[in-house]
């Protein structure tokens, strides 16, 4: 007999394992209909609607010069074109710039005999401004050379993302990056592949091996993540510097950059591409302040006019006096830097290439002997 105040617990009900029991998902959640993502409208149509209020207006359009270049390439839809063609299309598309160009031309013509200034001088200045704007890191364009002229072509999918602040609603809210697991944070930091962070002179090298749309921000904006906080800084250092090739148009620029870089950052740099140009041999630098970098690979490219810029003299049998090579502190530092690299490649001028190969080999032998 059960005690008062207590209830008898009924025996557990038997369940047929073969019976169809609805899952929690099936019983609580209604089925979701399949709704495919709609195809975006043609970018040309969207851009024409975007710029319509400013086409016949005397007011200055609100677009940056970089955005104007992208808009002109989209409206043109002619493939690869010159910077002059882009400039012409900007004039033809916006009355504000057309009136401005005509006014500058007329004022230049009226002052031709007084100032000896060509009437198209200001137009040439604008062309130069546009040309420099194409160097912006996040420009969704490709650069190539056709018939000895530099031409530019828009990357359509990337251009849609580039103009997103005009084509879509503003972003809202913030993202708790540090709230993610460390593994996911690392994957997100690796979203910028090696090819997008690589420069070679003025030409940008991009990866076109697939159709993936991946638009990199400006390099300064990209690396700004290293300054957010110490946690992200130390997590991002090996990702940014291990997976990317840092390229410098002058060896002296490399020296200046490394001189003001923290030791922990220098330890993470693995791959360098350095151009040795006229003027690098005459740089007066303090040897004791030269930073050391443990590199995995170093590519040195010697400018063809480097030897002539040093005014080197040839002796009998066409031998070159390399004394100025040995007296150049920056070249000595390059030799020291290369001697500590795992892999070194030297391309370019034959005289300096031969001298560098010999000096680096000798420096490596000295290091091996010391260790």
Q: Are 293 and 343 found together in one domain?
A: yes
**Range 118-137 average pLDDT:** 70
Residue 124 vs residue 28, higher pLDDT: 124
**pLDDT value of position 226:** 65
**Whole-angstrom distance, CA of residue 75 vs CA of residue 57:** 18
Concatenating the DSSP letter of every residue in 201-242 gives TTEEP---SS--------HHHHHGGGGS-HHHHHHHHHHHHH
Output the pLDDT for position 180: 82
| 162 and 238 together in one domain | no
Q: 268 and 366 share a domain?
A: yes
Could you give the CA distance from residue 163 to residue 166 in angstroms, rounded to a whole number? 6
Q: What is the mean pLDDT of residues 198-227?
A: 46
pLDDT in tens, 254-269: 877 777 777 777 888 8
Q: What percent of the chain has pLDDT over 90?
A: 14
The answer, yes or no, to whether residue 2 has pLDDT greater than 70, is no
Phi-psi region of 204 (alpha: psi -120 to 50; beta: other; left: phi over 0): beta
**Tokens representing 16?**
């047929």
Q: What is the mean pLDDT of residues 226-253?
A: 74
**Residue 169 φ/ψ, nearest 5 degrees:** -70, 155
State the total domains in the chain: 2
Kindly state the percentage of the chain with pLDDT values over 70: 63
- According to the model, what pLDDT value does residue 224 have? 62
281 secondary structure, DSSP code: G
Identify the pLDDT of residue 51: 95
Q: How would residue 112 be classed by pLDDT, with cut points 50, 70 and 90?
A: very low
CATH number of the domain to which 67 belongs: 1.10.10.10
Query: What's the pLDDT at 277?
Result: 73
283-311 per-position pLDDT tens digit: 555 555 555 677 888 888 887 665 544 44
pLDDT of residue 274: 84
Distances (CA, A) of 365 to 327, 334, 362: 21, 16, 5
Q: What pLDDT is recorded for position 69? A: 93
Highest mean pLDDT among 83-92, 198-207, 235-244: 83-92
287 part of a folded domain: yes
Residues 231 and 281 in one domain: yes
pLDDT in tens, 179-204: 888 778 777 776 644 444 443 333 33
Asked if the structure places residue 149 within a domain, the reply is: yes
Residues 358 and 239 both lie in one domain: yes
Mean pLDDT of 163-185: 81
Residue 187 shares a structural domain with residue 278: yes
**Per mean pLDDT, which range of 44-58, 92-106, 116-130 is the poorest?**
116-130
Confidence of residue 44 (pLDDT cuts 50, 70, 90): very high
Q: List the domain range (segments joined by +) for residue 243.
A: 180-201+212-370
Give the pLDDT of residue 209. Answer: 39
Does residue 79 sit within a domain?
yes
* In-domain check, residue 100: yes
For residues 83 and 153, the answer to whether their CB atoms sit within 8 Å is no
Contacts of 99 (CB under 8 A, 6+ apart): 58
Residues 302 and 240 in one domain: yes
**Domain identity same for 222 and 292:** yes
State how far the Cα of 194 lies from the Cα of 371, in Å rounded to an integer: 34
43: helix, strand or coil? helix
Residue 114 lies in a domain: no
Most confident of 68-72, 184-188, 327-331: 68-72
> Residue 200: phi, psi to the nearest 5?
-140, 100
């Amino acid at each position: 007999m059960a005690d008062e105040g207590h209830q008898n617990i009924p025996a557990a009900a038997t369940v047929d394992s073969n019976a169809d029991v609805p899952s929690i998902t099936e019983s609580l959640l209604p089925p979701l209909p399949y709704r495919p993502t709609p195809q975006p409208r043609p970018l040309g149509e969207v851009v024409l609607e975007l710029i319509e209020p400013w086409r016949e207006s005397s007011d200055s359009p609100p677009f940056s010069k970089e955005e104007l270049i992208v808009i002109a390439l989209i409206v043109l839809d002619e493939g690869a074109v010159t910077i002059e063609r882009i400039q012409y299309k900007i004039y033809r598309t916006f009355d504000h710039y057309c009136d401005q160009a005509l006014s500058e031309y007329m004022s230049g013509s009226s002052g031709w005999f007084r100032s000896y200034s060509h009437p198209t001088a200001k137009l040439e200045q604008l062309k130069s401004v546009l040309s420099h704007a194409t160097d912006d890191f996040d420009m969704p364009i490709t650069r190539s050379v056709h018939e000895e002229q530099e031409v530019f072509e828009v990357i359509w999918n990337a251009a849609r993302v580039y103009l997103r602040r005009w084509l879509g609603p503003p972003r809202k809210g913030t993202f708790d990056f540090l709230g993610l697991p460390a593994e996911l944070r690392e994957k997100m930091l690796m979203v910028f592949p090696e090819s997008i962070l690589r420069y070679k002179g003025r030409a940008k090298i991009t990866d076109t091996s697939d159709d993936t749309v991946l638009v990199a921000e400006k390099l300064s904006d990209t690396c700004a993540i290293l300054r957010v906080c110490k946690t992200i800084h130390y997590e991002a250092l090996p990702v940014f510097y291990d997976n990317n090739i840092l390229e410098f148009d002058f060896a002296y620029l490399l020296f200046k950059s490394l001189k003001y870089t923290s030791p922990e950052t220098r330890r993470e740099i693995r791959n360098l591409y350095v151009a040795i140009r006229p003027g690098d041999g005459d740089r007066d630098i303090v040897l004791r302040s030269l930073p050391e970098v443990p590199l995995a690979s170093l590519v040195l490219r010697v400018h063809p006019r480097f030897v002539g810029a040093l005014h080197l003299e040839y002796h009998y049998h066409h031998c070159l006096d390399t004394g100025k090579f040995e007296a150049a502190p920056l070249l000595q530092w390059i030799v020291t830097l290369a001697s500590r690299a795992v892999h070194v490649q030297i391309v370019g001028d034959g005289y300096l290439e031969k001298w560098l190969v010999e000096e680096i080999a000798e420096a490596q032998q000295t290091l091996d002997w010391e260790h």
